[in-house]
Amino acid sequence: MARTPYMAGNWKMHKTVSEARVLASELVSELSGASAKLMIAPPFTALSAVSQVVSDSPIRLGAQNMAPEESGAHTGEVSVAMLADVGVEVVILGHSERRHVYGETDELINRKVKLALAHEMEVILCVGETLEEREGDRAETVVQEQLAAGLDGVGEDQLSLVTIAYEPVWAIGTGRTATPEDADAIHQIIRNRFSTMYSAQAAENMVIQYGGSVKPNNIVGLMAKGNIDGALVGGASLKAETFVPIATYDRT
Ligand code: 13P
């Protein structure tokens, strides 16, 4: 069965509540007929407001991070139950900014992945190499290690809740996109890894997004590749005029 394209917007640390409401409303009206699976991940402070705007629309609500614990004395953290309470259905975990700026390890990310899945929260698990790792010919190894560690203890029966986002760190926010060929090659490696970790069927079914300077002018080339099933979009998800053409690329 063909994989459904999945377009997601990671708003990162942008948008006040009122700005978020405006953008979400524009997206709801402009994306009502989109055929791709859609998600937007506003900052925590805007989740509740955006939840009201996107309810009864095809746009799913995502969060950008989550605590590795159920509850308790964890100052500054937000739990899976709190996210679910405001209507979040998807959580982005292991984003490179969490890994490299805030020091999140594979082990911590794995705890979050397992906790989210235990609560039937969908997960977008991000993997990707730094420029130094790519130049040292280590991209494939790094991505495979992040996958294996991030999904340690996750059963094949839980994979329907998992999406992988390949985001090469050197392409994020830099305007440097991986070429469709380079991205597809890593996506193929990710898919193969699912084959060895799980099964050929799991590999075939896995939705793998590309992220890193995705724009309206490069989405078509990326989506033309057989192993690229969608996009995790940063900067271009902050305006309807740039996110809508990406989210509806297949109708252009
Ligand atoms: P940009 O699209 O701004 O490069 O960000 C990509 C990203 O990190 C999405 O999670």
Q: Which residues line ligand 1 (CB under 6 A)?
A: 10, 95, 167, 172-173, 211-214, 232-236
Q: What is the DSSP letter of 227?
A: T
Give yes or no: 74 in active site: no
Phi, psi dihedral angles at 149 (to 5 degrees): -70, -40
pLDDT at 212: 96
Give yes or no: 77 in active site: no
Taking alpha carbons only, the member of 92, 77, 78 closest to residue 10 is 92
72 Cα: distance to centroid of ligand 1 (angstroms): 32
Q: Is residue 248 part of a domain?
A: no
Q: Is residue 1 part of a domain?
A: no
Q: Is residue 183 part of a domain?
A: yes
236 Cα: distance to centroid of ligand 1 (angstroms): 8
CATH code, domain with 100: 3.20.20.70
Q: Is residue 102 part of a domain?
A: yes
Distance of CA 245 to the CA centre of its chain: 18
Q: Is residue 223 part of a domain?
A: yes
Task: Choose the residue to mutate in 215, 233, 238, 242 for probing ligand 1, maximizing ligand atoms within 8 Å of C-beta.
Answer: 233
pLDDT tens digit sequence for 90-118: 999 999 999 999 999 999 999 999 999 99
For the CA of 174, the nearest atom of ligand 1: 4
**The domain containing residue 157 runs over which residues?**
6-21+33-87+95-237
Q: Is residue 64 part of a domain?
A: yes
* Long-range CB contacts for residues 117-120, cutoff 8 Å, separation at least 24: 117/154, 117/158, 117/161, 117/162, 119/80, 119/81, 119/84, 120/161
pLDDT at 1: 58
Taking alpha carbons only, the member of 21, 121, 11 closest to residue 66 is 121
- DSSP for 60-124 reads EEEES---SSSSSS-TT---HHHHHHTT--EEEES-HHHHHTS---HHHHHHHHHHHHHTT-EEE
Q: Is residue 131 part of a domain?
A: yes
Q: Which of 97, 104, 133, 167 is catalytic?
A: 167
Domain count, the chain: 1
Q: Is residue 246 part of a domain?
A: no
Taking alpha carbons only, the member of 207, 202, 233 closest to residue 62 is 233
Q: What is the pLDDT along the chain (252 residues), one digit of tens a residue?
A: 589 999 999 999 999 999 999 999 999 999 998 999 999 999 999 999 999 999 999 999 999 999 999 999 999 999 999 999 999 999 999 999 999 999 999 999 999 999 999 999 999 999 999 999 999 999 999 999 999 999 999 999 999 999 999 999 999 888 888 899 999 999 999 999 999 999 999 999 999 999 999 999 999 999 999 999 999 999 999 999 999 999 999 644
Question: For ligand 1, atom 1, which residue shows the shortest CA distance?
Answer: 234
Work out the angle between the directed axes of helices 106-118 and 139-150 (0-180°, nearest 10).
Answer: 40
Question: For ligand 1, atom 7, which residue shows the shortest CA distance?
Answer: 234
